[in-house]
Amino acid sequence: MRSDAMAKRNALVAAARHLYADRGPDVPFTAIAAEAGVGIATLYRHFPTRSDLIVGIIEQVHAEILDCTTRCGEEWDSHPAGSWLRFVRALADLRLGALIPQLALTALAETPPEEAVRLRGRALGAVGRVLDLAKTAGFLRREITAVEFSLGLAIITRPLPAIPFSDVPSDRSWLIDAFVRGVRPD
Amino acid sequence: MRSDAMAKRNALVAAARHLYADRGPDVPFTAIAAEAGVGIATLYRHFPTRSDLIVGIIEQVHAEILDCTTRCGEEWDSHPAGSWLRFVRALADLRLGALIPQLALTALAETPPEEAVRLRGRALGAVGRVLDLAKTAGFLRREITAVEFSLGLAIITRPLPAIPFSDVPSDRSWLIDAFVRGVRPD
DNA sequence: CTTAAGTGGAGGATAATCCTCCACTTAAGC
DNA sequence: GCTTAAGTGGAGGATTATCCTCCACTTAAG
């Protein structure tokens, strides 16, 4: 693949991820191409279908999740409590919630992209290993599974549509902290 | 208003509320009319614009919120802890989250319907009064506001699109319970 | 310099919803 | 019953939006 083509491919994934989070699952292809600063034909060349594009995003997110779990595993022994909090916050920062409708889309596609399913499985496994550490350390109730935990975090970081009531807080770190406290054993 | 007209109006609000929760903010008018078992003309007669329909839903939800706060206030003195838990769960059962995109829609409308703004204010006030009881009783951190609390509950009860991974749990009461624990003072 | 990979964006094809219009139905009062 | 005005259904033209192909043009890389 030519180097300029690769750069544009990456720009497209980034643009798509950003717009999906911002505007929901129906962003027109033209908007994604425009955001990436390329023509529509380029988008179609790299990602013939929406599914292909979403798989591209999932690959990127998958790599970031593995980063989080790896870093957490390395830090764990020296500062378990700090590691745990950082891990949850880092996972929250990935804004997994923005992907919820996209995951639904891929899963509902005629041909469920097995690449996406594989990556999902690996990410859940890695998160599960961190959760085991947390359970042993007493930071997390034993009955909470990796799917539940990740989905919970995704739900509370899911982007809201713009709600122009001035009193609606945009910062959600208090909710994430409440989540961390709420999943602790009594 | 003729009695049959009134019945159809109510059916339309119920149908719209149900479909909005199920299918998101873009449900076509034809689907709402069909769900309510009436013709499109009837929908347009009662609710000339989408905003009117949404205000209708908000009126219904508003009444239900006041029910919750009133009941909670009456029970409070005999069983504070039980009242509090029931209140939060009842509020969660209203699935306020399903309204999030609709609220955004009304607020973004050219003419923000002041009726909706008024009802929102009253509901927030009533919830705030219950939260004050809870703060005094030590169930809730003092710094959490009525808007934050309601939004938090809305966020965690917001409907997910259908995600056909068999391991995704549909029950969310564990999240609500974690929320209740998470908002307690240390 | 050559050339094949890569690109842009106009525009026809397709799809979906909106919302009006008017002949028909029915509740409710007499 | 009968009258009548409120209420109703749903077909279909108007409008809007996105999809996705096509081909002449550009450019990286040897």
Chain B: residue nearest A25 by CA?
B161
pLDDT in tens, chain B (186 residues): 899 999 999 999 999 999 999 898 899 999 999 999 999 999 999 999 999 999 999 999 999 999 999 999 999 999 999 999 999 999 999 999 999 888 877 776 666 788 888 999 999 999 999 999 999 999 999 999 999 999 999 999 999 887 767 788 888 999 999 999 999 998
**B62 reaches A (C-beta below 8 A):** no
Q: The pTM is what? A: 0.91
Verify whether the Cβ–Cβ distance B100 to A161 is below 8 Å: yes
Chain A: residue nearest B26 by CA?
A26
**Angle formed at CA B23 by CA B152 and CA B175, multiple of 5 degrees:** 30
| A68–chain B nearest CA distance, Å | 22
**Measured between CB atoms, which of B144, B165, B182 is closest to A179?**
B182
DSSP code at position B139: S
Question: What would the pLDDT profile of A93-106 be if each residue is shown by its tens digit?
Answer: 999 999 988 887 77
SS3 B121: helix
Other Cβ atoms within 10 Å of B79 Cβ, number = 11
CB hemisphere CA count around B66 (13 angstroms): 11
Return the residue in B127, B160, B173 with the most chain A beta carbons within 10 A, the one to mutate for interface testing. B160
Q: Exposed, middle or buried: residue B78 (CB in 10 Å: 0-12, 13-18, 19+)?
A: exposed
**Measured between CB atoms, which of A104, A156, A175 is closest to B161?**
A104
SS3 B75: helix
Other Cβ atoms within 10 Å of A151 Cβ, number = 22
Residues B12, B33: contact at Cβ < 8 Å? yes
How far apart are the C-alpha atoms of A87 and B158, rounded to whole Å? 25
DSSP code at position A98: G
Q: Quick check: B30 CB within 7 A of strand C?
A: yes
**Angle formed at CA B92 by CA B150 and CA B95, multiple of 5 degrees:** 90
**B156 reaches A (C-beta below 8 A):** yes
SS3 A24: coil
B/e letters for A129-146, b = 16+ CB within 10 Å, e = fewer, are ebbebbeeeebbbeebeb
Residues B124, B131: contact at Cβ < 8 Å? no
How far apart are the C-alpha atoms of B8 and B10, rounded to whole Å? 5
**B132 reaches A (C-beta below 8 A):** no
**A180 reaches B (C-beta below 8 A):** yes
**Measured between CB atoms, which of B107, B165, B169 is closest to A163?**
B107
| B93: its two tokens | 């059962």
| A148–chain B nearest CA distance, Å | 7
